[in-house]
Amino acid sequence: MITKYRLGTPINTEAVVGELTPQPLDTFPLKLDIGGKTVIEFELQESDAVYGLGEASRGINKRGWIYESWCSDETNHTEDKKSLYGAHNFIVIGGREKFGFFVDFPGKIEWDIGYTLSGKVKITAEGADLDLYYINGESERDIVKQFRKLIGKSYIPPFWAFGYQQSCWGYAKQEDFFAVRDNYRKNNLPLDCIYMDIDYMDSFKDFTVNKKLFPDFRAFVDEMKAHNIRLIPIIDAGVKNQKGYPVYDEGHEKGYFCIDKDGGEFECGVWPGIVGLPDFLNKDVREWFGSQYKTLTDMGIDGFWNDMNEPALFYSKTGLEKANKKLDEIRSKEIDIWAFFRMKDTVLGVQNSMDDYSAFYHNIDGRKVCHKDVHNIYGAFMTKAASDFFEKEFGKEQKLIFSRASYIGAHRGSGIWFGDNFSWWSHILLNLKMLPSVNMCGFLYCGADLGGFNSNCTEDLLLRWLALGVFTPLMRNHRALGTRAQEAYQFEHIDWFSDVLAVRYRLIPYLYDTFRRCSEEYEMMFRPLAFDYPGDDMAREVEDQLMLGEECMIAPVYEQNKNRRYVYLPEDMTLVKLSGENTEKEFLKKGLHYVDVKLNEVALFIKKGKQIPLAPPALSTAELKKDELTYI
């Protein structure tokens, strides 16, 4: 059962689809303090676990750390981070007493989950206008399902979006894209999409294509499609402030950009230089921005990724002026070591600063609202602009769209990717841990940058990461400008990559059906073992294996120089090792096993009495023989 409580007059975040009548606040089951902030507190039993918060650092069980809901352009996903790109304000308490809790509030929220006191949860929302939802249920799964019904069905992308995808910040000219295509095809490596990062644009202007690099873009898109490869361009939130650039001119004329306290356009710097930030919280602006995607869909483009929409702010005009003044002051005196650090902090503090997030405003139904009070829905509403347009123009399931920043509710129209991770072994595990957490919050189409975004990837890291990515709906290899090339054909044993990528295509019919069912039935595609084996103390603590659908369990190898790992089987299962066209099976009893998995193998564990379909390997989803299935 879900009970809703309303405090003040909340802004409509569009997170929820069902209408519930708010109940009197004096019946709220947890300790509640309302002042300028809203504080909710409750005790945890020793054996309780806390799940949720979607895209966040650390474990599947969130207990023992302090988190913040604040969409952040955070490129270092280290354990000390309190927030990443998404704000997903839903938790489930699993233990003797089970309940779920959703804070529908677009401003900042702090979640002290047994950090200050191990037995206590303290949630502090920076405002007093919000909706609270308390969910009772018989199990964690049941609570999640009720919540998912409340927030509505998850986005389903086109079928081809389940193919393998290659991305790289730095592919610029047509020849770069042809080289990727040819190297994949030549080496018998499957591929469905190649991503276009900011380099394809003219001076980083949204909805433009650099004519020098792409003399006939339409023909280029068609030529790639003829090889069963789709191009997926990036769109950034900020619109370059430049007279004569039609998107800016129109937005400026109509007053569609966020304003400063005096009513002038808020000027901040991102990739294009000074930009206008479209006021996505305004419906007219959303319709206008959404319709801009038509420039590219008209040229045959079928998918997009929305970036920089937390929004990321490299600097603001005023922030930079202030910092420069401070630096001048420091410079004018004799510099001691503390002045040196003040100087360094001044420079670093210019980017994504709280001062800037407090210095611009939105127009929500005629009300002037400060950005910091609605920060967490900005990116979600940018992506809503695109997904609403796609649905209206092309119908459901026709276009691929996913976002970096997100808020619950955006899951109905789009997917997410997990942003700038590193080529670190620990980030394979972080990728795995985020999957059930974001699924709980409705985001099913998701994935991390396979191989790692920042720093240099190695062959073994990429192979192991792909062996997890084989199962994630979005399976995309992406890296940052200037890092070591990490396309599958760049390494020593290309045939090993061919073996692993073949497994993805063999599994697509199973993964696609599972995905669809999870969307339609409000289920999680990936679950902690604790959700499925509540009475099993060992299963409750497993943080490096996941249940997949109703049939399987996955347990990837995520350490270097290891050809085996411990796997806990909560019941008897069949270990299946897939590699290229090969399938090896071994029956294993419930309990702990030391299982060996080679670099070119993908392991999966099938439950008793269950079967999964396998297709023959294919080089693209278009060539996949969906009716030639065999069953394990």
Count of residues near ligand MIG by CB under 6 A? 10
- If binding is defined by CB under 6 A, does position 310 make contact with ligand MIG? no
- Min dist CB 87 to ligand MIG, Å, is 17
- If binding is defined by CB under 6 A, does position 55 make contact with ligand MIG? no
Report the sign of the C-alpha dihedral through residues 333, 337, 343, 345, in that order: negative
**Rounded Cα gap, residues 594 and 574, in angstroms:** 14
Which two structure tokens, joined as six digits, stand for 444?
Answer: 């099913």
DSSP letters spanning 124-181: EESSS-EEEEEEE-SSHHHHHHHHHHHH-PPP---GGGGSEEE--TT--SHHHHHHHH
| Contact assessment for residue 444 and residue 436, using Cβ atoms and an 8 Å cutoff | no
Q: Which is nearer to ligand MIG, 419 or 556 (CB)?
A: 419
Q: Which is nearer to ligand MIG, 414 or 545 (CB)?
A: 414
User: Which position among 68, 356, 420, 459 is part of the footprint of ligand MIG (CB under 6 A)?
Assistant: 420
- If binding is defined by CB under 6 A, does position 315 make contact with ligand MIG? no
Q: Which is nearer to ligand MIG, 140 or 307 (CB)?
A: 307
Q: Which is nearer to ligand MIG, 372 or 404 (CB)?
A: 404
Question: Could you tell me which of 174, 170, 313 has the C-alpha nearest to residue 236?
Answer: 313
Helix (H) or strand (E) holding 61: none
**Could you tell me which residues come within 8 angstroms of residue 448 by beta carbon, excluding any fewer than 6 positions away?**
417, 418, 421, 427, 430, 431, 434, 469, 472
- The string over 247-262, giving b where at least 16 C-beta atoms fall within 10 Å of a residue's C-beta and e elsewhere, is bbeebbeeebbbbeee
Q: In what order do the strands lie in the sheet with 268-270?
A: 239-240, 273-276, 268-270, 315-316
Which 228-247 residues touch ligand MIG, going by CB under 6 A? 234
Q: Which is nearer to ligand MIG, 305 or 605 (CB)?
A: 305
- Min dist CB 204 to ligand MIG, Å, is 9
| 580: number of Cβ within 10 Å | 18
- If binding is defined by CB under 6 A, does position 206 make contact with ligand MIG? no
- If binding is defined by CB under 6 A, does position 404 make contact with ligand MIG? yes
Question: Could you tell me which of 18, 209, 4, 11 has the C-alpha nearest to residue 128?
Answer: 11
- Min dist CB 272 to ligand MIG, Å, is 11
Question: Could you tell me which of 198, 208, 216, 397 has the C-alpha nearest to residue 312?
Answer: 198
Question: Could you tell me which of 154, 153, 107, 136 has the C-alpha nearest to residue 4?
Answer: 136
- Min dist CB 308 to ligand MIG, Å, is 6
Q: Which is nearer to ligand MIG, 234 or 529 (CB)?
A: 234
Q: Which is nearer to ligand MIG, 4 or 404 (CB)?
A: 404
Q: Which is nearer to ligand MIG, 453 or 512 (CB)?
A: 453
Place of tokens 């309940």: 99
**Rounded Cα gap, residues 113 and 132, in angstroms:** 18
572 CB-side CA count, 13 A: 6
Q: Which is nearer to ligand MIG, 420 or 601 (CB)?
A: 420
Which 425-484 residues touch ligand MIG, going by CB under 6 A? 478
249-288 footprint of ligand MIG as x/- string (CB under 6 A): ----------------------------------------
- Min dist CB 438 to ligand MIG, Å, is 16
- If binding is defined by CB under 6 A, does position 307 make contact with ligand MIG? yes
- If binding is defined by CB under 6 A, does position 205 make contact with ligand MIG? no
- Min dist CB 371 to ligand MIG, Å, is 20
- Min dist CB 239 to ligand MIG, Å, is 15
Which two structure tokens, joined as six digits, stand for 57?
Answer: 């650092």
164-203 footprint of ligand MIG as x/- string (CB under 6 A): -----x---------------------------xx-----
**Rounded Cα gap, residues 276 and 274, in angstroms:** 7
Q: Which is nearer to ligand MIG, 169 or 256 (CB)?
A: 169
- If binding is defined by CB under 6 A, does position 405 make contact with ligand MIG? no
- Min dist CB 336 to ligand MIG, Å, is 34
The site for ligand MIG (CB under 6 A) is made up of 169, 197-198, 234, 307-308, 404, 419-420, 478
